[in-house]
């Protein structure tokens, strides 16, 4: 391993946030040394990943802020990864009312990073798995990943996270019976946020019924009402997350599925590394108009020679 990457790795492990930010940038952009960095991640990394997903504007960032405040008061070290924050919502805006902003920005117990989506992995950042892995190398208790629940991203977040929290809002009340089957599959905990709206009660009741029906003989999924802007229900939510993490089975199917997909992708990109479209095009230009041209035989020969 190159010395500077080795040094960076040491600093990340010791909790240096600048080093962590640098490491994320290296991995996100595949800069020199990124593979070294990934291949030398520590073993036995203990930080747990909490995914928070839900429709745009459901209050995910507000919930994360409120959870941050709660856990900071309990002396936890937390990293937040926000994927494609569609609103310019500023983490810390709410923290600011209890913790002075200056203190917050230099708070050694919170690390926050926003990532753009890159279209890959159905809405999550293409490097979200690698980035989360790097963050796990730093000494955090919890890593919170916020993603807007659109399309496939919900499914991926469930594979990435040790506990997936799905935030819904009362506006969805009428549609609760038609909540996408996918959401029921991925949620470990439901949050009914904006419980200050009167329709919240109906959504809460319906979710409880759904959770009950789904549970069978197993423990029912928790449904927690919150008013994130007022920190109401946040302690209960934090408690349910901790309880879920404490009782979690070792390797959920969803995780195995995600790892398989990711490994497949890595193998694919590794194998394709030396294959260039230009080279293919040049070679095809020479032979494609021959009467005996056969694309499949050509491809096989090309692979043999590359
Ligand atoms: N009345 C009420 N408003 C809330 C509550 N929680 C959040 N909000 C407001 O809802 C709006 C959206 O909150 P965000 O936390 O940005 O929602 P989000 O889900 O992170 O949104 P995106 O990241 O854009 O998908 C903000 O104006 C919040 O102040 C709540 O419990 N009650
Ligand atoms: Mg948000």
Residues 6+ apart with CB under 8 A from 211: 190, 220, 221, 222, 223
Ligand 1 pocket mutation pick from 87, 124, 231 by most atoms within 8 angstroms of CB: 87
Question: What percent of the chain lies above the pLDDT cut of 90?
Answer: 44
Over residues 50-63, the pLDDT tens digits come to: 999 888 888 988 89
pLDDT computed for residue 77 by the predictor: 94
Token pair belonging to 83: 């994927």
* pTM of the predicted protein model: 0.84
For residue 85, is pLDDT > 60? no
User: Rounded distance, CA 86 to CA 80, Å?
Assistant: 16
**Closest to 84 in 3D by CA, of 185, 161, 153, 168:** 153
Question: What percent of the chain lies above the pLDDT cut of 70?
Answer: 82
DSSP code per residue over 285-302: HHHTTSTT--HHHHHHHH
Structural domain for 184, as ranges: 44-252
Same domain, 102 and 180: yes
User: Rounded distance, CA 53 to CA 164, Å?
Assistant: 8
User: Rounded distance, CA 115 to CA 124, Å?
Assistant: 9
Within a 10 A sphere around the Cβ of 89, how many other Cβ atoms? 18
Yes or no: say if 120 and 218 are a contact pair by the CB < 8 Å rule: no
User: Rounded distance, CA 228 to CA 299, Å?
Assistant: 57
From residue 64, how far is each of 38, 78, 145, 209, 236 by CA, in Å? Answer: 27, 11, 9, 26, 14
60 Cα: distance to centroid of ligand 1 (angstroms): 6
Same domain, 199 and 57: yes
From the alpha carbon of 62, which atom of ligand 1 is closest? 15
Same domain, 1 and 142: no
168 Cα: distance to centroid of ligand 2 (angstroms): 13
DSSP code per residue over 220-252: PPEEEE-BGGGTBTHHHHHHHHHHHHHT--SS-
For residue 88, is pLDDT > 70? no
SS (H, E, C) 155-219: HHHHHHCCEEEEEECHHHHHHHHHCCHHHHHHCCEEEECCCCCCCHHHHHHHHHHHHHHHHCCCC
Answer yes or no: is 84 within a domain.
yes
Ligand nearest the Cα of residue 167 is: 1
Over residues 162-180, the pLDDT tens digits come to: 999 999 988 754 555 456 6
Greater confidence (118 vs 283) lies with 283
Residue nearest to atom 8 of ligand 1 (CA): 59
Sheet holding 78-83, edge to edge: 110-115, 78-83, 142-148, 48-54, 163-168, 189-192, 222-225
Q: Put residue 51 in one of left, alpha, beta given phi > 0 → left and psi -120 to 50 → alpha.
A: beta
From the alpha carbon of 55, which atom of ligand 1 is closest? 25
User: Rounded distance, CA 258 to CA 30, Å?
Assistant: 21
pLDDT computed for residue 95 by the predictor: 47
Greater confidence (184 vs 276) lies with 276
Greater confidence (178 vs 154) lies with 154
Residue nearest to atom 23 of ligand 1 (CA): 85
Answer yes or no: is 260 within a domain.
no
Same domain, 202 and 215: yes
Rounded average pLDDT over 87-105? 46
Same domain, 52 and 5: no
Same domain, 35 and 53: no
pLDDT computed for residue 106 by the predictor: 64
Rounded average pLDDT over 236-243? 98
For residue 112, is pLDDT > 90? no
From the alpha carbon of 54, which atom of ligand 1 is closest? 19
Provide the 3-class DSSP secondary structure of residue 120: coil
pLDDT computed for residue 121 by the predictor: 47
Same domain, 139 and 211: yes
Answer yes or no: is 156 within a domain.
yes
90 Cα: distance to centroid of ligand 2 (angstroms): 9
pLDDT computed for residue 99 by the predictor: 44
Residue nearest to atom 2 of ligand 1 (CA): 194
Mean pLDDT computed over every residue of the chain: 83
For residue 89, is pLDDT > 80? no
Packing angle between helix 253-271 and helix 153-160, nearest 10 degrees? 100
For residue 255, is pLDDT > 90? no
The two most distant CA atoms of the chain are separated, in Å, by: 77
Rounded average pLDDT over 192-219? 89
Ligand 1 pocket mutation pick from 59, 94, 95 by most atoms within 8 angstroms of CB: 59
Answer yes or no: is 262 within a domain.
no
pLDDT computed for residue 124 by the predictor: 64
Residues 6+ apart with CB under 8 A from 169: 54, 55, 57, 58, 59, 192, 193, 194, 197, 203
Ligand 1 pocket mutation pick from 53, 61, 230 by most atoms within 8 angstroms of CB: 61
Residue nearest to atom 10 of ligand 1 (CA): 59
For residue 292, is pLDDT > 90? yes
Q: Tell me which residues have their CB closer than 6 angstroms to ligand 1.
A: 56-62, 85-87, 89, 148, 193-194, 196, 227-229
Residue nearest to atom 25 of ligand 1 (CA): 56
For residue 41, is pLDDT > 50? yes
169 Cα: distance to centroid of ligand 1 (angstroms): 10
β-pairing, 189-192 vs 78-83, is: unpaired
For residue 19, is pLDDT > 90? yes
For residue 287, is pLDDT > 90? yes
Answer yes or no: is 257 within a domain.
no
From the alpha carbon of 56, which atom of ligand 1 is closest? 25
């Amino acid at each position: 391993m190159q010395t500077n990457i080795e040094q960076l790795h040491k600093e990340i492990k010791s909790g240096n946030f600048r080093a962590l930010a640098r490491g994320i940038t290296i991995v996100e952009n595949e800069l020199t040394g990124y593979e070294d960095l990934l291949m030398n991640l520590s073993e036995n990394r203990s930080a747990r990943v909490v995914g928070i997903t839900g429709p745009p504007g459901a209050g995910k960032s507000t919930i994360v802020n409120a959870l941050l405040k709660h856990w900071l008061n309990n002396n936890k070290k937390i990293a937040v990864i926000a994927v494609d924050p569609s609103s310019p919502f500023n983490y810390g805006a709410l923290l600011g009312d209890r913790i002075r902003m200056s203190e917050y920005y230099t708070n050694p117990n919170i690390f926050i990073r926003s990532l753009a989506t890159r279209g890959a992995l159905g809405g999550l950042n293409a490097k979200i798995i690698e980035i989360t892995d790097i963050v796990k190398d730093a000494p955090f208790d919890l890593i919170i990943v916020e993603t807007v629940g659109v399309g496939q991203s919900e499914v991926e977040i469930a594979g990435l996270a040790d506990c997936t929290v799905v935030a819904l809002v009362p506006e969805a009340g009428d549609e609760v019976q038609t909540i996408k089957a996918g959401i029921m599959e991925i949620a470990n905990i439901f949050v009914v946020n904006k419980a200050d709206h009167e329709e919240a009660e109906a959504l809460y009741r319906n979710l409880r019924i759904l959770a009950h029906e789904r549970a069978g003989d197993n423990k029912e999924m928790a449904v927690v009402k919150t008013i994130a802007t007022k920190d109401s229900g946040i302690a209960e939510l934090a408690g349910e997350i901790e309880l879920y993490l404490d009782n979690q089975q070792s390797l959920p199917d969803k995780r195995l599925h995600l790892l398989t997909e990711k490994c497949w992708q890595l193998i694919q990109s590794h194998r394709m590394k030396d294959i260039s479209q230009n080279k293919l095009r040049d070679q095809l230009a020479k032979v494609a108009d021959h009467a005996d041209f056969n694309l499949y035989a050509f491809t096989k020969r090309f692979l043999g020679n590359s």
